[in-house]
Structure 1
Amino acid sequence: MASAGMRRRVEAIPGRPLPYGILGGCTEVIDVEDEHELLGVEWMALGCCPVEVWNDPCVGADESPGAPAKKQFCRPTIEHADPITVYAGAECGTMGWSYAEARQHAEASLDLGQQEAVELGFWTNHLAATATDLTPAEGPVDIAQGVAALEGCLAEQYGGVGVLHVPAGAAALLGCCNVVQRDPGGGPPTTLAGNCAVIGAGYSTANTGPGGIPADPGTAWLYITGPVVVRRGPAMTVPDRPGPSINYRTNTQRVLVERTYVVATTCTVCAVAVTTCPS
């Protein structure tokens, strides 16, 4: 067996993020031009008010129909989204690693892991914090029943195409009963109702229900929302030159790369607990 001193250094093994995560084809990703948007955004909700059916009181009414019918009006609400800043840092000794190598390591780490971190932040700060829990009193349901309940909730409260948020650890179960189908053209998976499925590594890391309560063993949480728009700023490397990266007291070098995202969705968030083990 060769000793460690005889090993030859080669290129690192590259990776790529999961293809159907929150930065994949289910969401609109915008590279912002106005960096003020990275402080958070707000907007007037569109499409969240119900469209009513008008029943003409003069049709089939008695001679004395009583109080006149009134049409209903809905006041739009202001929605908002807050920033999620993700980062990756590299630390090394000043001997053996250059600033350029440390920077390359931190930037590569961010490239691979930023999607998972954004998913974790969005799940924790928005999905689990605002969702309506549809889990029946009897407890978690199978994944097909869960998706059906979520899609019913979205259809009733929004009516447009939305996004199903699924932990990567439960993704294989979506193939049961053809809950979702993959696009032969390479697009993201969708349900029969037409909702797009984000399958997130960060969602698996969290796997909490409304209020941040962890999922019980053998269960997972699924969420559904309206459309999702992701705003992102540029990746920032700190420091941007070698000198300030060195701590001469400890003889170490540190480089940090960070990026700010603002993930926004609209109208409604519904959640349900599903079983991940066969009964």
Structure 2
Amino acid sequence: MSTPTPGRTWVDSAPPLVPYRYGLFSVTAITDGEGPWQKNGVEYFTDHCAQGGYVQGMCPAPAEGGGTTHDKTVFGGPELAEGSDPFTIYARAQCNAVGFDDPRGMALTRLGLIEEREAERFFSEHVVGADDADYRYPLGEVGPAVSLARALGALEADAALNYAGAPTLHAPRWAQPFMDELRLLQPNKDTGATRLTCLDSPIAFGGGYFDNPFAPTEALTTGTFWLAATGTVRGSRGAAFANETFKTNDNTRMALAERTYAFDADCYRAAVLVSVDGGSA
């Protein structure tokens, strides 16, 4: 921990922060409280990705050999949706014990400042990036990268065909100016705490989102990222707490603040590779 520099004017407090907005928490319904989810996460049955079909006419005629002339072949059973594993976000405060009066308070304050960003890192890699057999790639699993407008249109259309509600979209924060420049979003002054597409789908611009959530350590071409869509996002969050220790060998006080989370995003996940620098139309 740093010490004040002699000769400089001492100011009692840091300047105020402008609140972090339009990230993951802006599109997430978060429930606070302890529960069994803290051990294994959540799971539930959902009908939100149900499929069906249509037939012409109203009264089917009997078919030879039994049944009817209306062959209704699309079916589905109970669909189990599984959320993420629980994960814990932490912040640590440590300094020489002399004059370090409230390490627990400092650790809890720092936890509150960084937890949305760290939640975004986890969500991007372990929910958006958790590729499986049900993942949808409307324009191809490996690209080519397309324009923002084409990617957004493809995801909105795919969700309309495969999810019963509006999708929730996820993009790295640097993509926002490009989407606003192309007028792909409603003006933020009209949409409150959540940015919305022109079709009223919520979109999160996460400072912790990876350009490539499927391989966060692998860089993509400059100006390229995966625009992702999920079902409705929910979060479970435990109470924040802090524990303190004191090391006698170097007279150090340390506090560790933690809070456990788990997220679920219903039954739908899809992604399209985007380039803001000359992607295909």
**Length-normalised TM-score, structure 1:** 0.85
Residue type matched to 1:163 in 2? T
Matches within 5 A, 1:1-279: 4-7=5-8, 8-24=10-26, 26-32=27-33, 34-39=34-39, 40-56=41-57, 68-71=69-72, 72-81=74-83, 82-98=85-101, 100=102, 102-130=103-131, 131-136=135-140, 139-181=144-186, 182-184=188-190, 186-203=192-209, 206-210=210-214, 212=216, 213-239=218-244, 245-277=245-277
Counterpart position of 1:242: none
| Alignment deviations for residues 107-140 of structure 1 (CA, whole Å, 9 cap, x no partner) | 2211111001111101111111134334556621
Bigger mean CA deviation after superposition, 52-61 or 141-150: 52-61
Q: Distance in 1 between matches of 2:57 and 2:264?
A: 39
Residue type matched to 1:226 in 2? G
- The DSSP-based 3-state class of the residue aligned with 1:19 is coil
Unaligned runs of 5+ in 1: 240-244
Q: Distance in 2 between matches of 1:234 and 1:138?
A: 42
CA 1:36–1:16 in 2, change beyond 3 Å: closer, same or farther? farther
**Length-normalised TM-score, structure 2:** 0.84
Report how many residues are paired.
266
Residue type matched to 1:20 in 2? Y
CA 1:14–1:248 in 2, change beyond 3 Å: closer, same or farther? farther
CA contact (8 A) 1:84 1:260 kept: yes
Q: Distance in 1 between matches of 2:17 and 2:80?
A: 40
CA contact (8 A) 2:136 2:271 kept: yes
Q: Distance in 2 between matches of 1:138 and 1:79?
A: 27
- The DSSP-based 3-state class of the residue aligned with 1:192 is coil
Residue type matched to 1:95 in 2? V
CA 1:209–1:215 in 2, change beyond 3 Å: closer, same or farther? farther
CA contact (8 A) 1:17 1:115 kept: no
Q: Distance in 2 between matches of 1:276 and 1:94?
A: 51
Bigger mean CA deviation after superposition, 149-158 or 12-21: 12-21
Q: Distance in 2 between matches of 1:63 and 1:9?
A: 90
Q: Distance in 2 between matches of 1:265 and 1:37?
A: 15
CA contact (8 A) 1:17 1:112 kept: no
Percent identity of paired positions between Structure 1 and Structure 2: 27
Residue type matched to 1:12 in 2? A
CA 1:106–1:16 in 2, change beyond 3 Å: closer, same or farther? farther
| Alignment deviations for residues 198-218 of structure 1 (CA, whole Å, 9 cap, x no partner) | 111111xx2214355543222
Residue type matched to 2:194 in 1? P
> Which of the two has greater helix per residue?
1
Residue type matched to 2:56 in 1? N
